[in-house]
Amino acid sequence: MNQVTWIWLGMSAVALAMLLWAEVRDRPVARGLAKATCSVCFVAVALSGSVHGRYAALVVAGLVLSVAGDVLLLSRAHRAFLAGLVSFLLAHVAYAAAFAPVSSRPTLLLPLVVATLAGILMWLWPHLGAMRLPVLAYCAVIGAMVWLALGVPDPLVRWGAGLFFVSDLFVARGRFVRPGKVNQLVGWPLYYAGQFLLALSLA
């Protein structure tokens, strides 16, 4: 990693600490600024790496779409949540397209991924209401992304995709099952760790 990358990582660590503080103190303005800053930082980390070729372009596209999703999810309005869900769905499509050509597509892990998603849907289903179809589509796409990532030789990709996936469980828990600060306090570090690992895969 070069010096510029380390600077962006340092800024993101400060922004994440501020985000967690804002969640605990319930400071919406500080939360919005910190979240936007931390999200922009993972794009900057990616751009400070080797942004050449199809893989890099698709990963950067996924990161930029994630920033859009992060901004949209700052609102608690239903339409903003739905738009944020679409942004993240497209981000996962971009990641999946990036991973597909370099993935071994591990057949043995596919049943495990499918079974995990089925269990998650069973947990969420009674709470989803009108959001059942959007969440079903989202689960299918993120499942494909994670499965392809598991076949990529680079451990940064495997861990990044896995942490992103786990962080989404806390988003779903907070939105549909049991709201509470614990979802953000656990979910944000997992989410940003995952995104930064994917960004660093370009280095």
Domain ranges of the chain: 53-200
pLDDT at site 99 = 98
In this prediction, residue 75 carries a pLDDT of 84
Check residue 4 and give its pLDDT: 86
pTM (predicted TM-score): 0.94
Give the relative orientation of helices 3-25 and 181-200 as an angle to the nearest 10 degrees: 170
pLDDT of residue 49: 76
pLDDT of residue 2: 81
User: Given this model, what pLDDT does residue 196 score?
Assistant: 97
The residue to which tokens 């760790």 are assigned: 193
112, 64 in Cβ contact below 8 A? no
Average pLDDT for consecutive 10-residue bins of the chain (203 residues)?
Answer: 88 96 94 96 90 91 96 86 92 98 96 97 95 94 97 97 97 94 96 97 87
* pLDDT confidence of residue 77: 84
Structure tokens that stand for 197 in this block:
């690992």
